[in-house]
Structure 1
Amino acid sequence: MNPFNSKTGRVVLGGAGWSRQIVTDPTSKPVLETILHALSLGIRAFDTSPYYDPSEILLGAAFSDPALTSLYPRSDLILMTKCGRITSNKFDYSPPAIRASVLRSLARFSTNYLDVVFTHDVEFVSRAEALGAIKTLFEMKDEGLIRHVGISGYPPAFLADIAVEVKETFGRPVDVVQTYCHMNIQNTSLKQSLGRLYGDGGVGVVLNASPLCMGLLRKGGVPIGELGDFHPAPRGLREKAAEAAEWVESRGESMASLSLRFAVGEFARVDEKGFGMTILGGGSIGEIDENVETVKQMLKKGEDGKEDGDLREHTKLNEEIYKADEALFKGVRDILGEWVDYTWESPDAAFLEEQKKLKEQN
């Protein structure tokens, strides 16, 4: 099933911009005002996670505020969160923990249902743990607490494997898959798994998160929050990304804008089902405005579009803009060279070694 439709458009606002991984003091940001501004532009779908501390708490308060609820009915919104990941190296996919996490999220958003709940970074746990957590989410879906069940993680091929096994095991598919850093100007590996996700996996919609590769594909490099430099990109990739950004900026273009245009345009071009959704960052009104205007450059209004200011009207790939950018796209990818389509290990060797030691101790 696909939780998105013409009322939601093709864009989701991600909540990681209000996490300590990204910024130093998320609680100082005007979250309610920023969300209201996003809604005024036509954004109706929002994604967060308890792991993006304190994003879920801040967003939950915003979406529970009378200033918002008086203007936007709950039925007009798509609220998505995750479960299973506790910290950078701690996961709990046990059925009681999954249920408790979802119930806590429901309370934080003051709602009696969530539109999508994902298992967070599913590649970090065993297949049995993953299937057990998904079974619990299916049960909560049957209870009416969740409208759609999803899985999220980094490697698209792994997510496709899980999706196929879920369908074979339970006789029903996961509704939504969210992957990140795999449909952008540096890495387009998601293309190779779309057919299997939609086909054998029966997935309703695929979400493309981190179109700027968690801040790597912009001038200035990766963001540093309270938790320090968490980005897994190796030094060589960082250096080439910085070189590409300088080259783009020297031509009077913004690396962030170009990267987002590529991610949105390329996904719209290759996603034959036309269901793919891009998750935008934007922890401030200024960032949201910039990102929305960039998306509107690459996606033109559909035939029945009425309001130019509403992002939901922009659903069709603008072939002229895409073609005009192709020389810049090629220039960036030429500079990236051997790092094009590079994928880091997830989980990495350090995490696996730590888990091995913990098992030996127990």
Structure 2
Amino acid sequence: MPVGDRTSLESLSKVGLGCGVFSGAYGPASQENAIEAVRTAFSSGINLVDTSPYYNDSEIKLGKALLALRPEFPRSSYHICTKLGRYGYHTADFDYSRERVQASVSESMRRMHTDYLDIVLCHDVEFVSISEVVDQALPELFVLKAKGIVRNVGISGYPLPVLLEIAQIQQQRGNPLDVVLSYCNYNLHCQTLKEYVPRLRDAGVTTIIAASPLSMGLLTSGPTPEWHPAKDEVKSAVAECVALVDKTLVNKHGVTLAEMAEKFAFGFDGVDVHLVGARTKEEVMRALSAYESTQESKMSNGGKYRDEEVQAVYEQVKEILEPFSNYTWPSPPADA
């Protein structure tokens, strides 16, 4: 593959494995589970893994998994996406300097046992000034891209207006972004990404990744992470959905809110990759099953569930969460 050739992104799988969950933020995550999750993903056709130095020891666990699996899956068979710039919760823990860009890329390659990175993103760009992104970090990343150390350059974050502004600046400067990763902006309780996709395309962005169809653990039947930033009204609406699905579908049809949430997100064809966090083999298989069934139902049944009772509950869930379809939370948070 030629150095800096965007065609490498054309081979990305439609579902990517989010490895931030290896950090333990969503529950225990052993090294053995990480290996099995990655093996299952690769065996099933997923070829993108995503991580960050900010996610505790995620890069280390992922690196050990990739090394252990190298006899089965050589480095050329998958894409590594990692990030830089964010190294803690508070704004003081961000460093977008050119020197830190160089050091961060080197550290990530060492942890993941590779001499190049397929995608490197400036992490949570809304926490710093736009100047730090476009005048410091991105120029240095493009230097590394020219050397072949980084194959594709991009940004990640939550507020879509910020992501779009940076993409437009890069286009104006004649160096458009290869990748933009947006999280929690296309799911059952928020669909704001849909209106931004064409604008990001117009700004020259080749690949758009939609992360977290489960909204960082909110759209599941399990307990919502204490740190989740959604307001109480959204959490209460989700709890109503969980109660409805658990009462009517779980035992009779084996359908959960998480499956419905993934089906909804996977139905959006506007993005190039849906990034799903999965700690275990079983979670990987559930996500892939949801994606495959979504594609099949779109072709054979107009995107609906075949069972009328399941479809009726699905419509009720969407109706309960519809008032929040444009809801976003503040980022950075007030205490950052």
TM-score normalized with structure 1 length: 0.83
- 1:127-166 alignment, distance < 5 Å: 127-131=130-134, 132-166=136-170
Q: SS of the counterpart of 1:348? A: coil
What is the deviation of 1:319? 5.8
Q: Name stretches of at least 5 consecutive residues in structure 2 with no aligned partner.
A: 1-5, 250-254
Q: Deviations over 1:121-146 (max 9, x none)?
A: 00110011111111111111011100
Counterpart selection for 1:11 from 11, 15, 22: 15
Q: Paired residue for 1:345? A: 330
Q: SS of the counterpart of 2:152? A: strand
Equivalent residue letter for 1:283: R
What is the deviation of 1:334? 2.1
CA contact (8 A) 2:209 2:275 kept: yes
CA contact (8 A) 1:262 1:329 kept: no
Counterpart selection for 2:288 from 277, 286, 292: 292
Counterpart selection for 1:117 from 115, 120, 123: 120
Q: Paired residue for 1:46? A: 49
Equivalent residue letter for 1:202: G
* 1:206 and 2:208 correspond: yes
CA distance 1:248–1:30, shift in 2 (3 Å): closer
CA distance 1:237–1:172, shift in 2 (3 Å): same
CA distance in 2, matches of 1:28, 1:64: 12
CA contact (8 A) 1:178 1:209 kept: yes
Q: Paired residue for 1:69? A: 70
Q: Deviations over 1:247-283 (max 9, x none)?
A: 1233313100000000001x11xx1xxx521001210
* 1:55 and 2:58 correspond: yes
What is the deviation of 1:218? 1.2
Equivalent residue letter for 1:320: N
CA contact (8 A) 2:48 2:79 kept: yes
Q: Deviations over 1:152-196 (max 9, x none)?
A: 001222211110111213x11110100000111110000111111
CA contact (8 A) 2:212 2:276 kept: yes
- Which range moves more in the overlay, 83-92 or 321-330? 321-330
CA contact (8 A) 1:21 1:230 kept: no
Q: Report the number of matched residues.
A: 319
Q: Paired residue for 1:240? A: 237
CA contact (8 A) 1:216 1:222 kept: yes
CA distance 1:329–1:163, shift in 2 (3 Å): farther
* 1:180 and 2:165 correspond: no
Q: SS of the counterpart of 2:10? A: coil
CA RMSD of aligned residues (A): 1.8
CA distance in 2, matches of 1:30, 1:220: 19
Q: Paired residue for 1:322? A: 303
CA distance in 2, matches of 1:14, 1:346: 21
What is the deviation of 1:341? 2.2
What is the deviation of 1:209? 0.3
Equivalent residue letter for 2:236: E
- 1:253-268 alignment, distance < 5 Å: 253-265=255-267, 267-268=268-269
CA distance in 1, matches of 2:230, 2:319: 18
CA distance in 2, matches of 1:43, 1:187: 25
Q: Name stretches of at least 5 consecutive residues in structure 1 with no aligned partner.
A: 224-228, 301-315, 352-362
Q: Deviations over 1:93-130 (max 9, x none)?
A: 11111110011011111111100000000011001111
Q: SS of the counterpart of 1:295? A: helix
What is the deviation of 1:321? 5.6
CA distance 1:196–1:319, shift in 2 (3 Å): farther
TM-score normalized with structure 2 length: 0.90
CA contact (8 A) 1:174 1:203 kept: yes
Q: Paired residue for 1:306? A: none
Counterpart selection for 1:334 from 314, 319, 336: 319
CA contact (8 A) 2:85 2:101 kept: yes
Percent sequence identity is 36
Q: Paired residue for 1:193? A: 196
CA distance in 1, matches of 2:116, 2:239: 43
Q: Deviations over 1:21-48 (max 9, x none)?
A: 222x434543223211221111111000
Q: SS of the counterpart of 1:206? A: strand
CA distance in 1, matches of 2:292, 2:58: 26
CA contact (8 A) 2:190 2:327 kept: yes
Q: Paired residue for 1:249? A: 246
CA contact (8 A) 2:298 2:304 kept: no
- Which range moves more in the overlay, 324-333 or 291-300? 324-333
CA contact (8 A) 2:36 2:280 kept: no
CA distance in 1, matches of 2:114, 2:198: 35
* 1:215 and 2:220 correspond: no
CA distance in 2, matches of 1:317, 1:102: 40
